[in-house]
Structure 1
């Protein structure tokens, strides 16, 4: 069982480790920069001068605290945007890449169902996502203590734990587009466009009368600033993201079972 998932996870391990190191370097750099940044600017005046949409999109609150600073610089930007885009892009090649290269014909010749192929291809992303979260959380915990501005351990653990449903949802969007397209490049571009488009949609409508439209955006249900600054945990949002992920994966399996693979 799960042989396809294990094989895919092994192939992706080096990439996940490299990404973990890169994001950890960003985290350590931001932490090292914070003490010199804290006393050099009138933070409140700086934030008030920014457009409200920008402030809302990047969760610019309590920017003069290590929690608010990392929530904006690391989690709102690197986690919500960059990592979400990367996972959607990566997942978009899971099925379309095999179809395009002809490897899917070999897989379909094996005694495995199409639904299992889709499901295990998606599961191959899970170990890498977990590795990234564990490594970056550990580095962030150490780095903030090294500079004398320790971030709360519980809040740090929870922000990474609650990021998992969000990241899995972004990957599920990529998977869905991967079964819809026959070319990996098309699916990858579409996945990045969809995830970034949803981020823009949520940013633009969140403070308007049309905020209901942003309910389709996974970013609405994961707010690092609320977790780190306010200690507020959106468990209902995590449940919604989990349900959406399961629905997207199940829908991808259903569609691929009926798709004519050429």
Structure 2
């Protein structure tokens, strides 16, 4: 059982460790520079934010820079986690099926006693390796680094933001998976996945607070809010459930599409 998932997962492990190191280094840099600015933020936080263009404040949902949690929410979690990591998972997922089709390996895989639907599911499941590894290693580094600069961060909130990012990242990966079965050229599937994922982020950010805000409900980003977790200590479990449902829906769509697709 799960032979394809184990095989692909093993091959993703090294890259997942490198990804975790990269995100951890980004987190350390953000935490390291925070003390240089924290004194200024405490006195002029509102004036400092007013210096940013309104579009930037809305796009990145910047609420405060006067605390390490607020600084991390903006510099690391909105930009690094929601945008960069979400795009990376969509990009990675877009190559799961399309690359095998493009390189002629899919015929070999389908000659095995395994259904197309199961093959797609196992390919998708292997993405749990980078998603879990980066969400285990990075928070440990963040917690230790925050303690070193004498700005302790809530372990519960830190754990929550990473746990709740897992369904968000799987939803982004689901977008890439659908692109991977719809298009059999890897580079095109990856560009489509990146475009859709980033487009959804822009849609949610720019429509927030407008009369068209309801349209943004289709974006996974609506259901993962690092500010809400780190600053308010509020955990949106309903939003996490929505992301799980979205991921399952995207997986089913990918399975149905691939089951009915002719492979040349």
Q: Pick the TM interval, shorter chain.
A: over 0.9
Q: In the TM superposition, what whole-angstrom CA distance separates every residue of 1:88-130 from its partner, at most 9, and x where no partner exists?
A: 0000000000000000010011111101110000000102210
Q: Give distance in 2, aligned partners of 1:152 and 1:46.
A: 25
Per the alignment, in what secondary structure is the counterpart of residue 170 of structure 2?
helix
Matched residue, 2:4: 4
Question: Matched residues in 2 for 1:24 and 1:61: separation?
Answer: 23
Structure 1 residue ranges without an equivalent (≥5): none
1:48 CA displacement = 1.6
1:103 aligns with 2:100: no
User: Does the 8 A contact of 1:88 with 1:188 survive in 2?
Assistant: yes
- Contact kept in structure 1, 2:49 and 2:64, CA below 8 Å: no
Number of equivalent positions: 262
Instruction: Give unpaired runs (5+ residues) of structure 2.
Output: none
Contact kept? 2:201, 2:219, Cα under 8 Å: yes
8 Å contact from structure 2 (residues 93, 173) kept in 1: yes
SS at match of 1:39: helix
Query: What is the TM-score when the length of structure 2 is the normalising length?
Result: 0.97
d(CA) in 1 for partners of 2:63, 2:150: 21
Greater shift, 53-62 or 63-72, is seen at: 53-62
Paired residue for 1:53, among 37, 42, 55?
55
SS at match of 2:204: helix
Alignment correspondent of 1:20: 20
Structure 2 partner of 1:218: 220
Moved over 3 A (4+): none
For 1:169 and 1:154, how far apart are their aligned partners in 2? 23
Cα drift, residue 189 of structure 1: 0.3
Partner Cα distance (2:55, 2:64) in 1: 17
Q: Could you tell me which residue of structure 1 aligns to residue 129 of structure 2?
A: 127
Q: 1:83 corresponds to which residue?
A: 85
Structure-2 residue corresponding to 1:207 = 209
Paired residues of 2:101 and 2:263 also in contact (CA < 8 A): yes
| Offset, 1:38 | 0.9
Q: What TM-score results when the alignment is normalised by the length of structure 1? A: 0.98
